[in-house]
Structure 1
Amino acid sequence: MSRTAIEEKVLDCVEPVVKAQGLFLEDVKVSERSETVVRIIVDLEEGTYLVSSDDLQEVSWKISEALDAADPIEQAYTLEISTPGAERKLHTPRHYRRSLNRLVEIKLADKSELRGFIREVGESELTLEEEAKAPKPGMKPKPGKLVTVSFENISKARVRVDFGSLKD
């Protein structure tokens, strides 16, 4: 992913601030259409916990202060700071590790698709428990089949919100 010169300036300014708050700088985007919008995406480095609203608020203040002091953007802009979201796209092994035990949809290079729960993540592959389907309506589903998928065979992947069953 290539960044513009302004995005690089913003990244250089905010990355140390984000790290100092114990967070990971996921992405920086600067959109310069009718108004300039600076979007900064933060996340946790590891684990399956979520960034708390208190942590997000604190890092937002710190980022705003750092940008005001460094002034990397000449014109007025709107600053948006958020997390990747509940249904984030997955691109790196870290993304998959952060989504351990979550429901995902994966499109493979051969155009086939998988849907299931990430159970293990290695350096070059992951193990997915395919989403189980009930044999007949009203019956409990059987555990899904475990499938190992190489990262190089994945063309797209996204976390999906799992609402679970109301019959538990």
Structure 2
Amino acid sequence: MNRKGIISIVKEICEQLADELGYELVDVEFLKEGSNYFLRVYLDKPGGINLDDCQKVSQLLSDKLDEKDPITTPYYLEVSSPGLDRPLKNDKDLKRNLGKEIEIKLYEPLKGKKIIEGILEDYEEKTIVIRTEINEIVTIPKEGIALIKLAVKF
């Protein structure tokens, strides 16, 4: 089975498990790093995911994957929180983070910058709207965005 097919099956299983446990499935990745394959599942919940949550999902998911057996090559299963600087990949992520400070990396410079930070004001099917620190409203076409993530300040 190809990578997209594996991810699709794993997402379906994970969404069911996450719903049953009150978690949110954030992302699923199936990657080859060096000579090893990794199946990574990222979960979240209000208040954050902890190690016990990850262990519980890992065991339940491992059992379900053993039943369905969609992955024929040996792999490592990793279940974790997406982290503070996780990418915002879909409208659900954007909606949850309205009003928060984000960082956008662009493929091509906009107004001389390839990285723009600001408060996520709005989003639509094809655009992201942010308010920069100088109170400028900037509308960015999604097709020009390489990455959107929460801005982490220390």
Pairing 1:113-128 to 2, within 5 Å after superposition: 113=113, 114-118=116-120, 120-124=121-125, 127-128=129-130
Aligned equivalents of 2:143, 2:29: Cα separation in 1? 28
Q: Matches of residues 33-112 of structure 1 in structure 2 within 5 Å?
A: 34-44=35-45, 49-53=46-50, 54-107=52-105, 111-112=109-110
How far is 1:80 from its partner? 0.6
2 CA distance for matches of 1:75 and 1:153? 34
- 1:90 and 1:158 in contact (8 A); partners too: yes
Q: Whose strand proportion is higher, 1 or 2? A: 2
For the structure 1 residues 109 and 71, does the alpha-carbon distance in structure 2 shift closer, same or farther, using more than 3 Å as the test? Answer: closer
Contact kept, 8 Å, 1:37 with 1:77, in 2: the verdict is: yes
Pair 1:145-2:135 in alignment: yes
TM-score (norm 2): 0.69
Task: Quote the Cα distance in structure 2 between the aligned partners of 1:68 and 1:37.
Answer: 16
Structure 1 stretches lacking a partner, 5+ long: 132-143, 164-168
Shift of 1:109: 7.1
Return the alpha-carbon distance in structure 1 between the equivalents of residues 6 and 76 of structure 2: 14
Does the 8 Å CA contact 2:128/2:139 hold for their aligned counterparts? yes
Q: 1:153 to 1:69 in 2, by over 3 A?
A: closer
- In the TM superposition, residue 127 of structure 1 has moved relative to its aligned partner by 4.8
TM-score with structure 1 setting the length: 0.65
Q: Is the 8 A contact 1:106 1:154 kept in 2?
A: no
Q: 1:6 to 1:92 in 2, by over 3 A?
A: closer
Match in the other structure for 1:16: 16
Tell me which protein shows more helix as a share of its residues: 2
Give the greater-gyration-radius structure (CA).
1
8 Å contact kept, 2:3–2:30: no
AA of the residue aligned to 2:118: G
- 1:105–1:159 CA contact under 8 A, matched in 2: yes
RMSD: 3.1
Question: Among 145, 148, 152, which residue is 1:155 paired with?
Answer: 145
2:27 aligns with 27
